[in-house]
Amino acid sequence: MPLYDRRPPIHTHTHTNQPLAATLLLPSTTQGKKEIRKLYVAAARVYPEDCLQLMSASLSALPTPLSSAPFPPTEAALKLVLAFGDCGVQNASHVKEGLFPQLLKALHDSDIGSHAHAQVRLNYFELSARYARQSTVESIGRVAHVLIGAHGMRCADAQVRCRAAYFFLKVVECAGENASKLLPIVGSFAGTHVRIQRPPTYLSASIDRTLPI
């Protein structure tokens, strides 16, 4: 009998006041978080339904609006959503239909993209791009607005701007034939940030004289 068959089921409740997702990322070191993440991915391959309930419970435990939710549990909940897709073909059906797309839509309908903490926004940008193919056209439009907005490509933080631009391109790529519907959003950004300078008057006159009559 495989070892995982002898493991107890994953419970989606906790007896502490700490939000459940945050307890998964308690190690403060990067290496500790990586190890916990590996355990979660391994568990999701065996108990996908339980891990979906874990994600749902963790997101539901966050206070609203999500833009002002505390950083640690919010980051942890988003990490759960990101890691679920790393389980490979075992969870492909769960990612495409059922509870998971509903959780994605709930995130896209929220204001989490304007969270004060840059790391929360970057995690949200990443999962938006990673699961763009599982999102509706309406949700992709919302994501695009967030990515080019004041907390994305218009942010004062250079890292946030660069990552937002990268994930925006990924979202457009995944949008496929619906990418044309994002043109008005792109136009609003270009109209604000792109300035086409007219050539000097003397240069314009010189160019005009060279044009055939």
- CA dist 71 and 77 (Å) reads 10
Alpha carbon 95 to its chain centroid, in Å, reads 15
Kindly tell me if the per-residue pLDDT of 33 is higher than 90.
Answer: no
Band the pLDDT of 182: cuts 50, 70, 90. confident
pLDDT of residue 32: 74
Most confident of 107-116, 134-143, 197-206: 107-116
pLDDT of residue 96: 87
**Radius of gyration of the chain from its Cα atoms, rounded to whole angstroms:** 22
30: CB partners within 8 A, 6+ apart = none
pLDDT of residue 12: 40
- CA dist 110 and 113 (Å) reads 8
How confident is the model over 44-67, as pLDDT tens digits? 888 999 999 999 999 999 999 999
